[in-house]
Structure 1
Amino acid sequence: MFAVRRVVVPLRIFLVLLFAILVVFQTLSLPGKFAYEARESPDQAYLRWPETAVSVFWVLCVQVVIVCTWRLLSLVKEDRIFSEGALKWVDAIVGAIAAAWLVLLGVFVYVGLVADDPGAPLLLLLLLVGVTVLGLLMVVMRALLRQATTLRTELNAVI
């Protein structure tokens, strides 16, 4: 367990860094990118706000995962990861992934219907499969956490 605790501090540093970078993307880079694209391609300008909203939403989903991971790291540090309290944070991660997946599915369907080149739909399909795998992996991890929590509770009752 000592080795895991040694990783918590560097992981938290990188989580803060990642969160800060995502805030910059969410507030400056993504809206600016889509505004620039709207000016450069006026025939596609109607996509500016939907693209901005979807992109900012996906960044928000990642930020939710970061915050939940931070809380889970706190539980690891306090040696309370195998508790009912940890499950709500894992549920929030699964929820954020599911919400991002649903929006990604909608984007995939829309782009698949209007695209004249297979590149974008294939890239979106790759992302869709990747997010599906990530979401299902989190469901399995949640089940393992639930099982470990139950076993630890039973063990504590015996002791």
Structure 2
Amino acid sequence: MIERWATALLRIALVVLFGILVVFQTLSLPGQFRYLAEQNPEDAALRWPATAITVFWVLCVQVVIVATWRLLTLVQKDRIFTEASLGWVDAIVWAVAAGWLVLIAVLLWVGFQADDPGLPMLLFLATAVVTVVGLVLIVMRALLRQATALRTDMDAVI
């Protein structure tokens, strides 16, 4: 019973988060970088690259949200230990990997340009967190693959 409540609450949270991310993607981030370009004309050339990168990261999170929604559907239908679930987990892993690669590029660019260690250290922290999340996802995917194989074997026996 508690799983049903948790699943329902998670779905509500995913919808709210997705909606907030759409607002950020379409209004807040572009507006913020426009404002920063107006306030600091010497950094105006960074407006569009910064907008594109942050919108891309939001898109990566949106992919994770959609894939999580689909995995919840598979859980509800008791089909989580099937090949269908692996495709959605792969989507999450690839979205995290794509975001991580762009984060590494930003870290390197900022690291070589910065005269203050604050932002590079923050980006390094974010990179470490995303690295750990990505590696945990890869391990969890391997566990899901093993559980799926065991479930397939058990279904064949029964």
Residues 6-64 of structure 1: CA deviation (Å, up to 9, x unaligned): 31111000000000000000000000000000000000000000000000000000000
Q: Secondary structure at the match of 1:82?
A: coil
Structure 2 unaligned runs (5+)? none
Partner residue, 1:58: 57
Following superposition, the deviation at residue 157 of structure 1 comes to 1.0
Q: How many residues matched?
A: 158
Q: TM-score, normalised by structure 2?
A: 0.98
Partner residue, 2:29: 30
Partner residue, 2:19: 20
What are the residue-to-residue correspondences of 1:1-159 with 2, within 5 Å? 2-159=1-158
* Aligned residues: CA RMSD: 0.7
Residues 42-98 of structure 1: CA deviation (Å, up to 9, x unaligned): 000000000000000000000000000000000000000000000000000000000
Equivalent-residue separation in structure 1 for 2:20 and 2:54 (angstroms): 14
Equivalent-residue separation in structure 2 for 1:143 and 1:108 (angstroms): 29
Identity of aligned residues (%): 65
Q: Secondary structure at the match of 2:115?
A: coil
Name the aligned partner's letter for residue 39 of structure 2: E
Equivalent-residue separation in structure 2 for 1:90 and 1:156 (angstroms): 22
**Does the Cα contact within 8 Å between 1:108 and 1:121 map onto a contact in 2?**
yes
Residues 76-134 of structure 1: CA deviation (Å, up to 9, x unaligned): 00000000000000000000000000000000000000000000100000000000000
Q: Secondary structure at the match of 1:79?
A: coil
**Does the Cα contact within 8 Å between 1:5 and 1:76 map onto a contact in 2?**
no
Following superposition, the deviation at residue 3 of structure 1 comes to 3.0
Equivalent-residue separation in structure 1 for 2:110 and 2:6 (angstroms): 41
